[in-house]
Amino acid sequence: MGRLEGKVAVVTGAASGIGRGTVDLFVAEGARVIAADIQDDKGARLEEEHKGRARYVRCDVSVEKDIEAAVAAATGSFGRLDVLFNNAGTGGARDQADAVTAEGFDQVMHLHVRAALFGMKYAVPVMRAQGGGSIVSTASVAGLQAGFGPVLYSIAKAAIIHMTRVTAPQLAPSNIRVNCICPGLIATNIFASAMGVPSQLGETRLDAIAEASKHSQPIARGGRPRDIAEAALYLAGDEASFVTGQALVVDGGITLGPSGVSQMSVFAPIVQALGIDAETLAWMTAARS
């Protein structure tokens, strides 16, 4: 307990999912938090539950002035800013490359890439003046490998990873660390919203999402917001004082590829071409899983 004692954080996308899990953990570890979001009802409940330790600020991260105001709220309410967690985001447009629109492109890039960069723009002068800080952004395994998200979302998350790498050396002389987190399959309503399911309904299905995804990666359980919050806590705190420019993958091993039966199934056509019977193939699979 107390790993963020005395520190002040701004968390965007703070009212639900990974953001809410991070606010809860940061407050439990001693931080005071500006919880920035556009979900006013959830923000009000968050502020009530963490009375005196968290303040909700309405912030649409696609609007530069809102980001500036969220950073100003940290210094205005709590006197400083030690941690910025650029977390707000959604799946966005699902169009393939030959069907993307300018509107869809701008919406996804503004929500993810521009918002993270402008978060830095306003947080860095405050952090530099007080002697340092930590900036963490939510990227994704979709930014590392193909097949984990829509085209525009994947491009945006790849940009956040590279943004992390190019800004980290620029800000290191000011004792400001820049890192990002690449979640895998985390049970949040981002899946529901990406498929057009209302947020409220999606939130009732989080346990089902976790259950359905537990066999998608080597660690056979569904990922939860707390898993990403723990990574954010590490990168935000002094324990990570020698860590910058990194993309921390928190994915249950999904980017390592399938394991056991699934892994062996990749070789099934070759095995069959060699004339190995199904019974022997099943035995080989069991021995390796």
Provide the annotated active-site residues.
Answer: 153
3-state secondary structure of 83: strand
CA angle 110, 198, 93 (to 5 degrees): 35
d(CA 91, CA 199): 13
CA dihedral of 209, 212, 217, 218, whole degrees rounded to 10: 120
Contact 78, 52 (CB under 8 A): no
Question: Which helix (DSSP H) or strand (DSSP E) does residue 86 occupy?
Answer: strand 83-86
d(CA 267, CA 11): 45
d(CA 27, CA 54): 7
CB atoms within 10 A of CB 214: 16
β-bridge partners, 138: 181
d(CA 178, CA 170): 10
d(CA 210, CA 212): 5
Per-residue tokens: 141: 């395994």
